[in-house]
Chain A
Amino acid sequence: MRDALPLVWREIPERYNLIGSTCENCKQEFFPQRLICPNCRRKGNLVPKKMPDEGKIFSFTQVHSGAKGFENETPYTLAIVEMPNGVRVLGHIVDAQPEKIEIGTKVKAVFRRIFAEGEEGIIAYGFKFKVAD
């Protein structure tokens, strides 16, 4: 059993909508949200910002020894996706043949089930990535 239950509920807006932050001072964008800009600190001003929902695979791995809670989908592909605004995000790549996945492949964020918590089936949702057409 995972211990992630509180996280499942608290992080809903960011996880569902890919809302990050942008600093009005240095213009850098961040995901997940930050409260303090690491470039500007007190001079910075972070406001919520919707992240692009497309990007390119920056690195990837096919996980054969899966994390607890992911037994049913193992093996699965994880990638760090780089968005056009320079922000990188880690997530699953879904519905793709492994041979179609390489560094540079274009992907699109989709809303999916991440894992089911225990027998009661509390389901955690969030973003994953799908190879773009």
Chain B
Amino acid sequence: MRSVSVIGVGMSKFGERWDASFRQLVAEAGIMALKDSKIDGSAIQAVFGGCMASGRFLGQEHIGALIVDQLGLNPIASTRLEAACASGSVAFRSGIMAVASGMYDMVAVGGVEKMTEVSVEDAATALGGAGDQEWELFQGATFPALYALMARRHMKEYGTTEEQMALCAVKNHENGSKNPYAQYQNKITLETAMNSAVIASPLKLFDCSPISDGAAVAILCETSKAKKICEQPIEIIASAQASDTLALAQRKSLTELNATKVAAKQAFEQAKLKPKDIQTAEVHDCFTIAEIMAVEDLGFFEKGKAGKAIEAGETKLNSAISVNTSGGLKACGHPVGATGVKQIVEAVWQLRGQGGQRQANGVEHALTHNVGGSGATATVHIFKRA
């Protein structure tokens, strides 16, 4: 297999983008990524796009065709991939496989979602499709409810507290306040988070990522070619994906995501690295408890110890490991199909030293972790400067 690098990235501003249509978001991110890569669009040979539920949110399907059309790249091949909230990173993996295999030398990968055109209730119903429609949604299980069931178990088994969960949100808003692309650029206090409305106990409003619009794009190129045409290519040194039962109740444990553990193990083996070698990680904090489980399942902290570590500030910018420098899903926003690619954009910026006020020091290796649904899909990618 050939080595693959990222040679350009771009993202739209995330948020309630009433000013921009679905296709404008795609174009915004795509133009930025193409400019960043300094290549001509004609060099791109195929497109892979991640999108979860445009049919439910907008009545628009056939997103592969829409993306390639909006980027002005017809008639090259373009394919949509869907894995709920992991759609973006699954599309990214398809791009990697296409280049690593030798089928193409250069491809574009996009992720996009526009969620704010429908009511919050309809958005929640659409997102529910990431779980098990027949045995979870049918029973009235919302996504916050599924993660609340995990949180309750984590509290019981490891003594994790609601304050520790809230501190993830406080930290991610702190990082988001330094990210001009973030949906929320305001800091919050622990008190604000703790006093916010209960959504599904023990999770409160500030434990939940928002409903967002946004798009992100990355341009991939075979590494030896990338070194010739790009000043600072970012090499993908691991790409792993794993699966688990669609329904939460059928998992052996509610306090870990096995798909994350399996993907992480494979990724660290591919990269020949250990968790301590990672300086910055974008992890899937769709809920604060998800960030706690993620940093444990990825091996940054022992199982059950992440709550205390977060309380001690060990995941803040430039601490033991800088987690979610972008603001994470909580503050940067979570346009579900775009999130997986946005995490990669942030990893590339951190490795290039383009993180602005949220730049972590001495970044040699960056990791991204994207989850679909309540953990039925997980991906892990690791990056370094080529």
Contacts and interface: CB of A to CB of B under 8 A. Distances in A.
A65 interface: yes
Interface string A65-107: 1111110000010111000000011111000000000010000
B198 interface: yes
A90 B247 contact: yes
A90 B141 contact: yes
Contacts, number: 102
Contacts of A114: 138-140
Contact of B135 (A32, A62, A63): A32
B128 interface: yes
A23 to B, nearest CB: 14
A90 B139 contact: yes
Contacts of B121: 68
Nearest to B205: A65
A67 B143 CA distance: 9
Interface centre among B138, B156, B198 (most CB of A within 10 A): B138
A11 B137 CA distance: 14
Given A62-B200, A66-B142, A67-B142, A90 B249 contact: yes
A127 to B, nearest CB: 9
| B128, B134, B144, B202, most chain A CB atoms within 10 A | B134
Interface string A25-58: 0000010100000000000000000000000001
Given A7-B134, A59-B152, A80-B249, A64 B201 contact: yes
Interface in B134-186: 134-142, 144-145, 148-150, 152-153, 156
What DSSP secondary structure best describes chain A's contact surface?
strand
B254 interface: yes
Contact of B149 (A64, A65, A78): A78
Contact of A62 (B128, B133, B141, B198): B198
B140 A67 contact: yes
Nearest to B136: A90
Chain B CB within 10 Å, residue with most, of A59, A78, A88: A59
B125 A67 contact: yes
